[in-house]
Structure 1
């Protein structure tokens, strides 16, 4: 482990185009349940597909009930050692881009500017009208729900929905293309806390590896890239990133 973290630290220190890709595994340490494991969100709820949301008020109400339940963990969550370590890479001027599958907004809360973050699956801290595309804050949407609107509706009569990608909903074209382009330009690509099973997000390390990047996987469970990556570390994200960052700082 020591040798692996030292190798990664040296690669980070010498990189010109460092890209970090994060998944749910970095945020579970902040108390946010992941989606697919036992006890995760989809173990507790049946997901509402996008076409159900758009066609049925009953489905919209069920969707918002699930979102309110999620808020219990989201509202209490704070950036952990993993988020803070990546924010330190930004402060040092080393981090080029952070691509995330996470919707919790914790990377921005840790101090990484939003223009450096690509949110492939959106951000649940904001809410968008599905018709006119107007954005409101989560707090405003919750106030509407508290006032009795179980499935908030925009002034244009469109349906408000958290600005995240639901099952059956198209991926954001601009963000996906930008992530693919920057992954292909990376010289060091680090995956943190993702099983790399969800497409097209999971293609990003492949773009990086095919372009010659040094590929690092930090994840507790297996990924499809374990045998082709340059360094594999099966440890908790926060502990590993904190250790690597300490070594980055001490490399002259």
Structure 2
């Protein structure tokens, strides 16, 4: 199998009932991102930010992995690397074990004082204290606007070494992830977009359609339809 790096975005989880961000009904049309997704917003009103992420965490916990998550878990088991912009844990609940969460994870908490992380409770609160240093403030382990995404060095190495880069369910508008296709192309990789609609990025091939239909079909194309199944597929 070729060395494959898969980047997933909100479109992979949309059919599980989790909202996307940048379409006309997306999350950023309903909330002021400066108030709920920046360090400054958290400093100004931490209770509002916790309420926002507590609601997102509850929605994610109520959702179930879909066929796209299951197919990608099967691909990962065969050697692919999954990098996700999503903060939900649906890839893991479908069976993936080594997902790189470049924007953090809803299901983890972060101490802003010492940098420790731990599994988040279902609901976080302003008076939560750090399990390691005993202080705070404690926040969701989410990369907010103005902060540097996680694991960028590891992602960069993977893009340099891959044979195939695949972007699934992402708008291609948010950097640095929007630049991954160019990075992969410069390194000599073939590039593929799988999305509900073409994003306009510079991909060698584009497959359009609902993720739950087209992603399993593409994975079967790569691995063969007789490959072992995975949870959620």
TM-score by length of 1: 0.81
* Residue aligning to 1:229: 203
| Structure-1 separation of matches of 2:219 and 2:190 | 17
| Structure-1 separation of matches of 2:54 and 2:28 | 15
| Structure-2 separation of matches of 1:39 and 1:73 | 17
* Residue aligning to 1:130: 112
Deviation at 1:25, TM superposition (A): 0.5
Of 14, 18, 39 in structure 2, the residue corresponding to residue 50 of structure 1 is 39
Segment drifting more, 66-75 vs 197-206: 66-75
| Structure-2 separation of matches of 1:152 and 1:41 | 26
Deviation at 1:151, TM superposition (A): 5.2
Of 167, 177, 183 in structure 1, the residue corresponding to residue 145 of structure 2 is 167
| Structure-2 separation of matches of 1:124 and 1:185 | 29
* Residue aligning to 1:10: none
State how many pairs are aligned: 221
**Counterpart of 1:202 in 2: which secondary structure?**
helix
* Aligned residues of 1:195 and 1:221 also touching (Cα < 8 A): no
TM alignment of 1:185-196, pairs within 5 A? 185-196=161-172
| Structure-2 separation of matches of 1:135 and 1:27 | 24
**Counterpart of 2:82 in 1: which secondary structure?**
strand
**Counterpart of 1:233 in 2: which secondary structure?**
strand
* Residue aligning to 1:6: none
| Structure-1 separation of matches of 2:162 and 2:217 | 23
| Structure-1 separation of matches of 2:182 and 2:18 | 27
* Residue aligning to 2:89: 105
**Counterpart of 1:127 in 2: which secondary structure?**
strand
Gaps of 5+ in 1: 1-13
* Residue aligning to 2:23: 37
| Structure-2 separation of matches of 1:102 and 1:240 | 19
Gaps of 5+ in 2: 228-233
Deviation at 1:63, TM superposition (A): 0.3
User: What do the CA deviations read for 1:132-186 (whole angstroms, capped 9, x no partner)?
Assistant: 22223222x62xx5xxx445343633111111111222333xx011111101211
**Counterpart of 1:75 in 2: which secondary structure?**
helix
User: What do the CA deviations read for 1:38-90 (whole angstroms, capped 9, x no partner)?
Assistant: 2222222222221231x33xx11110111122234211111110010011112
Q: In terms of Rg, which structure is larger?
A: 1
**Counterpart of 1:30 in 2: which secondary structure?**
coil
User: What do the CA deviations read for 1:84-111 (whole angstroms, capped 9, x no partner)?
Assistant: 00111123x241x111111102112211
